[in-house]
C-alpha cells in the first residue's frame, strides 16, 4: 500500500516544491480556501474520525470546533517537540515530506481562522528548523503563504520556534508558556487552549503527524480515510519501533495491525532470536505489557484494543524488551528520565520522581529489601491522580506495572 504520511518513501524528492505540486500538493489547501467555509473543513476532519497522534488520541475535528469565535486573533501551533523516549516519527515526516506537514498547518489555520501559525520544534531539531524555514520561504514565494492567498482575503504566515531541551514542552500548555518566552511549565486547566492559548488567545495545538494527515483527508474525503484502520481508530499510524528488534524504524501501518506483524514481519523479529518479555507501546510513559502468553502479540494496535491488555497506545512508540532485561533496571531508567524532566511546578511530581529515583536506584544496586519495593509501589500509586499534568502520571506507569506484573524480577535483586 502506498504511504499516506511517509510519502517520501514512495515519491523521491517530494521535499521539493515542484515534485510535491506534481503529486497534488497544495490542491487541498487551495480548494479549502477558495471553495469551502472554515467550518466545512472542520466537518470533513471531524467525519474522518482523525484522532490526535501526540499520545492523547483526542478527536482532531472536535478540538478544532472548540475554538472560541468570540475572542480574536486565533493561533495554530504545531507540536514538533517530539521527546518521548521511543518516538522518532515527526522528525522523519518533517525531513522527508515537509510540504504535506506545512500544508496541514495551513489547512488547520484556515479552518480555525488563524492568520499566524507557529511550529514549535524541540531545540535538538536545529537542522530541521532551518530546513523548514527554507520550505516556508519557498511556499511564500510560490504564493501558498502570505497575504490574500489565491485571490481571497485570507492571509497566513507560518513561523518556526526552537525549544531548548525540555520534555515537558510537549505538554501543550507548557509548550505555549515556552513559546511566550517563559519556563515551560504547564498551566492549570481549564481553560484549555481553544479558549485560552497562546498570549491568552484561542489556539489549536496539534501534533505534526496529526496535521500531516489533513491534506490527504481533504483531498480524498472522510470516507476514504475511514476505510483504513478500525472503527475506533480510523486511518493510518506511524509506529516507531525500537528496542531489541532486528530492524528498528518507523512503519506506517493501518490501526489494528498486530504487535506480531509489527515486530516480526516489519521489525525482523527480536535480536539474537530471544523472546519478547514486555512491550512498551507508548514509549517510556507506557504501562508495561506482560508478554507471558504468545497470544498477547496478536493484539491489534488501536486505542481500544491496547487498553484491553492493560496499557495504552499513546504515541505508538513501541519499545520491545526481551528476556535478557530485568525490570529493576528498566524502571530505574524510566524514573531517572522523568526525574530529570519534571518541571518542578507541582510538588507531587517534583518530589515523587525524586524519591522514586532513590528507591529504584537502591533496588537496582541490590541494596534494597522487599519493603523498599512495596514502598516504591506505594509512592507511585500515591502520586497517581494528584499531578498537575500527565508527566507525573506517566512517571508512575512503568513502576506500578513493572512491580505488579514482573514481581519475580524484584524478588531476585532484594536482600532477604
Contact residues for another protein, defined by CB under 8 A: 82-88, 90-91, 122-127, 130, 159, 161-167, 178-184, 199, 240-244, 248-250, 283-284, 317, 319, 321, 325, 330, 333-334, 337, 340-341, 343
Dmax of the chain from CA atoms? 78
C-beta closer to another protein: residue 222 or 291: 291
Q: What stretch of H or E contains 333?
A: helix 327-341
Shortest approach of another protein to residue 71 CB, angstroms? 15
Residues with Cβ within 8 Å of 58's Cβ and at least 6 positions away in sequence, in order, are 51, 52
C-beta closer to another protein: residue 239 or 255: 239
By the 8 A CB rule, do 246 and 269 touch? Answer: yes
Shortest approach of another protein to residue 298 CB, angstroms? 23
C-beta closer to another protein: residue 121 or 376: 121
- How far from chain centre, in Å, is Cα 226? 21
Shortest approach of another protein to residue 94 CB, angstroms? 11
C-beta closer to another protein: residue 250 or 287: 250
Strand-pairing partners, residue 279, are: 289, 320
Quote the CA–CA distance of 176 and 158 in Å, as a whole number: 16
Shortest approach of another protein to residue 47 CB, angstroms? 32
C-beta closer to another protein: residue 138 or 322: 322
The length of the chain in residues reads: 416
Residue for grid cell 471531524: 46
Residue for grid cell 529515583: 357
C-beta closer to another protein: residue 318 or 379: 318
Shortest approach of another protein to residue 133 CB, angstroms? 10
Q: What stretch of H or E contains 222?
A: helix 222-226
Buried b (16+ CB within 10 A) or exposed e, 30-60: bebbeebebeebbbbbbbbbbbbbbbebeeb
Shortest approach of another protein to residue 370 CB, angstroms? 25
Amino acid at each position: 500500500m502506498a504511504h499516506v504520511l511517509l510519502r517520501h518513501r514512495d515519491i523521491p524528492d517530494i521535499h521539493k516544491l515542484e515534485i510535491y505540486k506534481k503529486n497534488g500538493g497544495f490542491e487541498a489547501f487551495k480548494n479549502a480556501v477558495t471553495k469551502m467555509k472554515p467550518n466545512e473543513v472542520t466537518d470533513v476532519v471531524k467525519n474522518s474520525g482523525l484522532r490526535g497522534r501526540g499520545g492523547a488520541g483526542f478527536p482532531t475535528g472536535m478540538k478544532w470546533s472548540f475554538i472560541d469565535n468570540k475572542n480574536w486573533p486565533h493561533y495554530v501551533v504545531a507540536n514538533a517537540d517530539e521527546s518521548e523516549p521511543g518516538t522518532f516519527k515527526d522528525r522523519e515526516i518533517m525531513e522527508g515530506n515537509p510540504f504535506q506537514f506545512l500544508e496541514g498547518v495551513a489547512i488547520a489555520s484556515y479552518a480555525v481562522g488563524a492568520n499566524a501559525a507557529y511550529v514549535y520544534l524541540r531545540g535538538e531539531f536545529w537542522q530541521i528548523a532551518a530546513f523548514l524555514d527554507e520550505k516556508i520561504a519557498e511556499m511564500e514565494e510560490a504564493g501558498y503563504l502570505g497575504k490574500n492567498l489565491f485571490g481571497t482575503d485570507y492571509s497566513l504566515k507560518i513561523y518556526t520556534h526552537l525549544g531548548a531541551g525540555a520534555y515537558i514542552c510537549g505538554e501543550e500548555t507548557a509548550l505555549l508558556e515556552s513559546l511566550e518566552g517563559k519556563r515551560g511549565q504547564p498551566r492549570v486547566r481549564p481553560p484549555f487552549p481553544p479558549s485560552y492559548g497562546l498570549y491568552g488567545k484561542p489556539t489549536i495545538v496539534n501534533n505534526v503527524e496529526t496535521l500531516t494527515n489533513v491534506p490527504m483527508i481533504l483531498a480524498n474525503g472522510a470516507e476514504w480515510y475511514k476505510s483504513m484502520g478500525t472503527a475506533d481508530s480510523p486511518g493510518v499510524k506511524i509506529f516507531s519501533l525500537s528496542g531489541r528488534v532486528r530492524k528498528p524504524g518507523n512503519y506506517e501501518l493501518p490501526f489494528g495491525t498486530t504487535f506480531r506483524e509489527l515486530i516480526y514481519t516489519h521489525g525482523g523479529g527480536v535480536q539474537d532470536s530471544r523472546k519478547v518479555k514486555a512491550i512498551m507501546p507508548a514509549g517510556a510513559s507506557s504501562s508495561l505489557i506482560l508478554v507471558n502468553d504468545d497470544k498477547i502479540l496478536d493484539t491489534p494496535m488501536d486505542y481500544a484494543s491496547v487498553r484491553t491488555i492493560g496499557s495504552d497506545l499513546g504515541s505508538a512508540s513501541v519499545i520491545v524488551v526481551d528476556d535478557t532485561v530485568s525490570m529493576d533496571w528498566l524502571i530505574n531508567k524510566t524514573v531517572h528520565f522523568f526525574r530529570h524532566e519534571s518541571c518542578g511546578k507541582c510538588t507531587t511530581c517534583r518530589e515523587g520522581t525524586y524519591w522514586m529515583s532513590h528507591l529504584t536506584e537502591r533496588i537496582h544496586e541490590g541494596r534494597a529489601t522487599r519493603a523498599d519495593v512495596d514502598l516504591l509501589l506505594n509512592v507511585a500509586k500515591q502520586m497517581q491522580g494528584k499531578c498537575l499534568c500527565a508527566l507525573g502520571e506517566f512517571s508512575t506507569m512503568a513502576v506500578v506495572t513493572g512491580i505488579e506484573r514482573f514481581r519475580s524480577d524484584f524478588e531476585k535483586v532484594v536482600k532477604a
